[in-house]
Amino acid sequence: MIIAVDGPAASGKGTLARRLARHYGLPHLDTGLLYRAVGLSVRRAGDDPASAPAAEAAARTLDLAAFDDAELRTAAAGELASIVAAIPGVRAALLDYQRAFAAQPGGAVLDGRDIGTVVCPAATVKLFVTASPDVRAGRRHRELEAQGRMLAFDDVLADIRSRDERDTARAVAPMRPAEGARLLDTTDLDIEAAFQAALDIVESQKPRDVAAP
């Protein structure tokens, strides 16, 4: 069983994907970390993350083990990821890795922005998780405060809107709900309610021969 979880930044897709993976005993891949690692690799080399040759070279030689998880989850890494993810050659270089992960025996859970549309168009279950920009900015603002980073809410909201625009307007694999995807709006849901809603969707669409955990 392959579960594809797509959606914009701070929608809750990553948290839901991790919990679904634990629930069903499946491996989980946060594909955003791949793009974050590429962006950081380019920056470490002193190159421009918008440079296609530099970003593509980094994607082809990517080693996730070279990065600390906390470093990958910073706001700066997220911004870099959004930039390199718009480069077609980067997406092509990472596609085989993602598909191989999804093809593991028993399946997997992958979250990102083009899982259901490009990476796994034949996924067993497709979710598109979203929330209003203001709510997503509030979540990200609280995360940053917990990390000791005091940014103005308006700046965080502007960054959310900017990333949304880049992700939906890029020429290759733009972020959008996949055909057959179920929309899950988490604007008014806490994590427990959102997880239950996601679980209900998966249960309604999974094959009957997939055993309950």
Domains defined along the chain, listed by start: 2-201 (3.40.50.300)
Least-confidence region, from 172-176, 188-192, 197-201 = 172-176
pTM here is 0.89
Residue 181 phi, psi dihedral angles, 5° rounding: -75, 145
- pLDDT single digits (tens) 57-111: 999 999 888 888 888 988 789 889 989 998 999 999 999 999 999 999 999 999 9
Helix (H) or strand (E) holding 134: helix 133-146
Give percent above pLDDT 90 in the chain. Answer: 79
Residues forming beta bridges with residue 182, ordered by sequence position: 127
The Cα–Cα gap between 145 and 169 comes to: 30
The Cα–Cα gap between 52 and 87 comes to: 6
The Cα–Cα gap between 45 and 58 comes to: 9
